[in-house]
Amino acid sequence: MNVGNRIRNLREMQQLSVTQLAKEAYISQPYLSDIERGRHLPSLDKLKTICDALNITLGEFFGDQMDLTPDLLRLVENARKLSEYEREKLNDFIEALAKRDLGDN
């Protein structure tokens, strides 16, 4: 897992600038930029502080969504807000779109 990429993806998903997240996490903007670029690996305490600023747990940070792009992460976060029935209907809609796209080829 690339910790820096994961932080950047989560930050972008929440439409936060590096400066905004650094301020919320009580770390310097250059340090956060270096983490995102892979120049520094944050301590567990610093990572916890960054996760708190992103309103996620360490478990969510290391969860199975680690390789999703920002647009897919945004879809997942929005889907989490739906009821079970709404998620089922959304899934039906996405499957119908996928089948339609396959049929167009």
Determine which of 10-19, 44-53, 65-74, 83-92 has the lowest per-residue pLDDT on average: 65-74
The percent of residues above 90 in pLDDT, for the chain, comes to 49
**Per-residue model confidence (pLDDT) at position 19:** 97
Over the stretch 43-79, which tens digit does the pLDDT of each residue have? 989 999 999 999 998 888 887 655 667 777 778 778 8
Is a pLDDT exceeding 70 seen at residue 103? no
In angstroms, the CA 57 to CA 33 distance is 21
Tokens 């932080």 belong to 7
**Per-residue model confidence (pLDDT) at position 94:** 87
Which of 71, 76, 79, 77 has the alpha carbon at shortest distance from 12?
Answer: 71
CB 89: neighbour CB atoms within 10 A?
12
pTM of the predicted structure, to 2 decimals: 0.63
Is a pLDDT exceeding 60 seen at residue 30? yes
Q: Which domains does the chain have, with CATH numbers?
A: 1-66 (1.10.260.40), 68-105 (no CATH)
Which amino acid type is present at position 16?
L
Q: Is 38 left (phi over 0), alpha (psi -120 to 50) or beta?
A: left
Is a pLDDT exceeding 60 seen at residue 104? no
